[in-house]
Amino acid sequence: MAKQTTTLHGVFMEVMGLGVLLSGVSGVGKSELALELLTRGHRLIADDAPIFSRLAEDVVEGVCPPPLHDFLEVRGLGVINVRAMYGDGAITDRAVLQLVVHLQWMRDDELVNLDRLRASKDDVRVLGVAVPRILLPVAAGRELAVLAEAAVRSHMLAVGGYDAAEDFTRRQQRYMS
């Protein structure tokens, strides 16, 4: 059986040990977010066109195409060599895709209408494997790196069985009783 592969648009990073694809339309700020995450100690795998392969029934791994190794294109700065700027520790060769953080422009009136207790999340299929996806609204003044790290931490807690919204709701119900 031939190995299934696909190339996706986005920046693939290792954030807190998890393979995280930053996705969104061109110009939404994926590379800028990646650069900020790099300065916070996270690692780049691939910018723009990571290649994903299905390794097992529920495992998809991402790597960087050889011509793009070490490089990140940032509007206004051009192409930067992440390894040269931040050292070998800022790059890793591969990771299992565990989360997609999808950046989406939102106006203030759209932000107001988001569910305030639960993240906007669903699953996206990559090579037939369901991968959790969290919508990260992009708007002026939002600290995307902090929000992306919080999204990853929240996902890690959810995988471990913890749901903050349920915990919060139960606590409020006990208080009102």
Q: Cβ–Cβ contacts within 10 Å for residue 119, how many?
A: 18
The predicted pLDDT at position 2 comes to 60
The residue annotated as part of the active site, out of 30, 43, 54, 155, is 30
Average pLDDT of 46-61?
96
In the predicted structure, residue 141 carries a pLDDT above the cut 90: no
Backbone CA torsion sign across 19, 27, 127, 71: negative
- 69 tagged catalytic: no
Strands 94-105 and 129-138: parallel
The residue annotated as part of the active site, out of 42, 47, 48, 133, is 48
The predicted pLDDT at position 111 comes to 82
- 9 tagged catalytic: yes
Task: List all residues 6 or more positions away from 135 whose beta carbon is below 8 Å from its beta carbon.
Answer: 102, 104, 119, 120, 121
Task: List all residues 6 or more positions away from 147 whose beta carbon is below 8 Å from its beta carbon.
Answer: 136
- 116 tagged catalytic: yes
Instruction: State the pTM of this model.
Output: 0.93
- 48 tagged catalytic: yes
